[in-house]
Structure formats: structure tokens, C-alpha cells
A and B are shown apart, each in its own frame.
Chain A
Amino acid sequence: MRDLMNPDPPERRLRLPLHVRLREHLLLEPLLPFARLILGTLRDLAPIIAVIAVFQLAVLRQPFPDIEKIVIGLAFVMLGLALFVKGLEMGLFPLGEGLAQDFSRKGSLFWLLFFAFALGCGTTVAEPALIAVADEAARTAADVGAIENSDSGRAAYAFGLRYTVAFAVGLGITLGVFRILKGWPVHWLIIGGYVLVMCLTFFAPAEIIGIAYDSGGVTTSTITVPLVTALGVGLSTMIRGRNPLIDGFGLIAFASLTPIIFVLIYGMVI
């Protein structure tokens, strides 16, 4: 993949006029892998489209409303996701993975934990699925009248939700990194977390419970998983006597659990 993006030797490039080089960088150079990425997002969408098509044709047997709008929208989803992933692969992923390795080698516990926290927070804020679901939660809460039904009211609610989740994921990753360093078994911490979730559920308002439980599964996808996995595997490769296959995992599990706890608390506070 990397080779395809860089097909020309640098000498040849320097001879080309500036506008040609510019065009090459912005459009042509990534074109080939990009087509593959579009196909990749199509593969994500294909099962959904297939199931819905079967249901429309065989079960419901009625015309789908607004089909043009949906088709355009799906094209946006595919193109957008492909661009997004492409952009991540060009810049943020190699940089983040490099950082994760550097920090696991650096040996400063403070900076390592701080980096883990910041990485969890930063990736979660940018996570597309979370942005979408937080907006939808705000709209739902506004429709029912739980919050003020205005643009600013909804925006504030969605913002609060996302930053609560981001803080929680940051904390979860930090805890997970600490666990890898100490070699604690992952299941005692997770089971402890489950117990805490159950206790908090009894005190949390009913409106927040569904959103809180969902926020655990929403947070860990496109950006968070690759970067966090790089951190975990990098760490357990560095520490002697650890098996990256066993000790590198478990970070995502923490990142899926802590948001539930913190969103439940968020619901109790506001």
C-alpha cells in the first residue's frame, strides 16, 4: 500500500513543474489506494444494503420513500469514510503509532500515562460514530423535553456527552496501560467495573441509562482501535516477559467500560 502511494523516484519529481507536483500530491498520487478504500467502505455497507433490499423486496413489498436522497447520502457515507480513513493512514496513524512506540520505550511513567490519557481523549472526540450518536441522543432528549429544545441546548448536551465519554475513555486507557505495566489480570478490573455499573444504575435517572450503556460500544471504532491497539502491543513488546498477544489486549475493554460509568455519573449530576 505504501509503495503504491509513492511510485516515483524523488529525482523525477523535482524536475516536474510545481502545479503538476501539487496535483500529484493532492489527487493523483493517492488515487489507486483510494479506489481500494472506496471498495472497502462499500464492503462495510454491502451487508446493510443487502439485508434492507431483501426486506424491501420480499417482506415489506412497498416503495422506499426518498430513495434518491438515501442513495446520495450513502454515496457521501462511502466517499467520506474512504477520505477519512485515507487521511488517517497518511498522517495520524503512522505518527500516533510512532509516538506510542516512543513512549513505551521512553521509560517515564508520568509521560506514558499522560500520553495514554491524551490519546484516549483525543481519538474519542474525533470518533465519527460518537459524534452521530451524541447528536441523535441530544435530539431525542430535546424532543421528549428533557433538555431545552434549541440549537444551543442540543449542542451543549451533545458536547457534554462527548467530552464526558472522551474523558472516560482517556481514563480507561490510562488504567489499561497501568494494568499492562503491573501485569494485573484484566478480568478482576473489568468485573469490578461491571459491579460499579450495576450499583450506579440504581441511582441514575432512567433517561440516561440507555445512552450510558450504548456509549460504551460507540466509542471504540475507526480512530481509537488502531491507535490504542498500537499502544498496547508496543507496550507489551517492550516489557520483558510479556506476551503481546495476551497483555496487549484489554485496553479496548477498559475503553468500552469506563464511558458507561462516567455517563451514568454525568446523568446524575446534570
Chain B
Amino acid sequence: MELLEHIGLTELGTLRDIAPLAILVLFFQVVVLRKRPATSLRRLSVGGIYVVLGLGLFLVGLEQALFPLGKTMAAQLTDPAFLKLAPGAVAIWTDYIWVYVFAAAIGFSTTIAEPALMAVADKAASVSGGTISVWGLRIAVALGVSAGVALGTIRIVTGIPLHWLIMAGYMIVIVQTLFASRTIIPLAYDSGGVTTSTVTVPLVAALGLGLAANVPGRSTLIDGFGLIALASVFPIIAVLAYAQISQARAGRARRAPASPGQGVSNTKEGL
């Protein structure tokens, strides 16, 4: 019963969240363009009901499942009994190795399965004219996200200020940009934003907050955030690096006609 009441209240809240977008789209359609919408009003309203209902259910489920999952995993993996510390001993950052492994695994697996990334990888393959393969790019980005999230958890445990890591990441991106081909740059920058999906973001956020709450001496507000930020910078680095490596390989294959196999097989993979 309590759950039903909670769902009802959340649904009311989502009405307010969707309203600006709905009003906006209708305003532009009716007032500015003065044109009948391509979609029928009935479809539009049924779709609207679905959107509001779905968003509400999603938010309730998020609070019931995804946030607790992330926090419970963080709590269990940092539990002194699990770490098998000697009585009275203080854990050092290497004791939390399973946390980093878990973070890396979540980052890799969710990114490999991310539909938005598949779309970007397809486009990247066609922009590059075959030097970039779809699967190669997806693995590169997944490794990037995985490294980003894992590094983020190391940062939370050790308490290194987030901005130093982000700035180092930005520096690498800037240097890579100077050497990257102009076609791949916008795509690489976009890949940072699209790799973190609606389901992954809350889980990863909860993992970070749970870690900061359980590791002694960390503040949730100062140390708990930043996993998503790192998971957004590292894919940019990974895509630029992958594009550069595959270009260099294709270039080398072209210069040495004795062994052209590599560049060609790469192209096939991409298609």
C-alpha cells in the first residue's frame, strides 16, 4: 500500500517534469510553424500518458532497486569482515582491490551492451572509410569507461582530488586532438556523453556514494561523486587513441605492400 502511494506521488511529480517539453514542442508546432503535426493528436496523447507513467515507474524502481544495489555492493565490498583485516588494522587502498575489479567490470559490461554506442560506432566506421572497425571501437570505448570508473573508485578510496584526474584527462584529450584527423574529433567528443546510459548512471552514482560512505575518512559530498565524470572523459581518450592506432596501422600497411593483410582485414571486420 505504501508502495502504491509512493508510485502515485512520483507519477504526479513526473507530470511536472514532462510538461515543459510537451508545452515547448506544441508551442513551436502550433504557434511558430503553424502547421498540423505529422503525428495524430490521439497518438500524441497516448504516447504522453506512456511517457509519464513510464518515467514514474522507472524512478520508483530506481529508488527501490538500482540505488540500493549500488550502495549494498559498495557496503559489502568494503566490509572489514570481507576485507579480512587483522583486528585493529586500518585498510590501505590496495585492500579494496575487489572494489576496483567490480567497478571495471560494471563499466565494461554496460558499455559493450550500450545501444547508443553501437549507433556511434557504426557512424565512426563509415566516417573513417573502414580504418576503424565497429567492434574495435566498441571495445576501445568499453575499456575506456571501465578504466574511468575503476580509476574513479581508486580516487574515492585514496581521496585524491577529482579535479586533478579530470584535468589530466583533459590534457591528454587536448594533446590527442592536436594529432587526430579532423573527421574523428566531433565523434570522439560525442562518445563521452553517450556512453553512460539511463540505467548505468544511477547505479554508478550509487556505487560512488556508497563507497565514500563506507571508506573511513571520506565525505560523501566531496568524494562520492565523479565516477560518471571520469566515465565520460575516458571514452574520448579511448576513441581518439583507437582512431590514431588504426590509422597508423593502415598507413604502415599501405607503405609496406609486402604485408597489406592487416589494413584490409581490419576493413572487413568493420563491415
Within 8 A of B (CB), among A55-101: 55, 59-60, 62, 64-66, 69-92, 94-96, 98-99
Does B131 interact with chain A (Cβ within 8 Å)? no
Contacting residue for A126 out of B21, B64, B106, CB 8 A: B21
Asked whether B59 lies within 8 Å of A253 as measured between CB atoms, the reply is: no
Does A198 interact with chain B (Cβ within 8 Å)? yes
Asked whether A80 lies within 8 Å of B55 as measured between CB atoms, the reply is: yes
Asked whether B198 lies within 8 Å of A129 as measured between CB atoms, the reply is: yes
Given A198-B167, A207-B221, A126 and B18 contact (CB-CB distance below 8 Å) = yes
Most chain B Cβ neighbours within 10 Å, of A87, A197, A250: A87
The prevalent SS among residues of A at the interface is helix
Does B268 interact with chain A (Cβ within 8 Å)? no
Q: How far is the CB of B90 from chain A (nearest CB, A)?
A: 22
Number of A-B pairs, beta carbon distance below 8 Å? 348
Does A156 interact with chain B (Cβ within 8 Å)? no
Q: CA of A60 to CA of B102 in the docked complex: distance in angstroms?
A: 11
Instruction: Count how many chain B residues have C-beta atoms less than 8 Å from C-beta atoms of the other chain.
Output: 105
Contact with B along A15-48 (1 / 0, CB 8 A): 0000000000110000000000000110111111
Asked whether A80 lies within 8 Å of B54 as measured between CB atoms, the reply is: yes
Asked whether A143 lies within 8 Å of B220 as measured between CB atoms, the reply is: yes
Contacts of B64 in A (CB 8 A): 69-70, 72-73, 76
Asked whether A81 lies within 8 Å of B198 as measured between CB atoms, the reply is: yes
Contacting residue for B49 out of A87, A121, A218, CB 8 A: A87
Question: Which A-chain residue is minimally distant from B114 (CB atoms)?
Answer: A44
Asked whether B199 lies within 8 Å of A45 as measured between CB atoms, the reply is: yes
Contacts of B47 in A (CB 8 A): 86-92
Q: How far is the CB of B91 from chain A (nearest CB, A)?
A: 16
Contacts of A217 in B (CB 8 A): 192-193, 196, 201, 228-229, 231-232
Q: CA of A146 to CA of B69 in the docked complex: distance in angstroms?
A: 26
Given A125-B17, A216-B193, A80 and B58 contact (CB-CB distance below 8 Å) = yes
Residues of A participating in the B interface, judged by any CB pair closer than 8 Å: 25-26, 40-41, 43-48, 50-52, 54-55, 59-60, 62, 64-66, 69-92, 94-96, 98-99, 102-103, 106, 111, 115, 118-119, 121-123, 125-129, 131-133, 136-137, 140-141, 143-144, 146, 185-187, 190-191, 194, 197-198, 201, 206-207, 209-211, 213-214, 216-223, 225, 245-247, 249-253, 255-256, 260
Could you name 24 residue pairs across A and B whose Cβ atoms are closer than 8 Å? A44-B110, A47-B112, A50-B109, A52-B69, A52-B73, A71-B65, A72-B61, A77-B62, A77-B199, A80-B54, A80-B60, A83-B51, A128-B55, A132-B202, A140-B209, A141-B221, A191-B177, A210-B221, A210-B224, A213-B163, A218-B196, A221-B116, A221-B198, A247-B186
Q: Which 8 A-B pairs have the closest CB atoms?
A: A73-B65, A76-B61, A210-B225, A87-B50, A73-B64, A83-B54, A91-B47, A80-B58
Residues of B participating in the A interface, judged by any CB pair closer than 8 Å: 17-18, 20-22, 24-25, 28-29, 32-33, 35, 37-39, 42-69, 72-73, 76-77, 82, 98, 102, 105-106, 109-110, 112-116, 123, 126-127, 161-163, 166-167, 170, 173-174, 177, 182-183, 185-187, 189-190, 192-194, 196-203, 205-206, 209, 219-229, 231-232
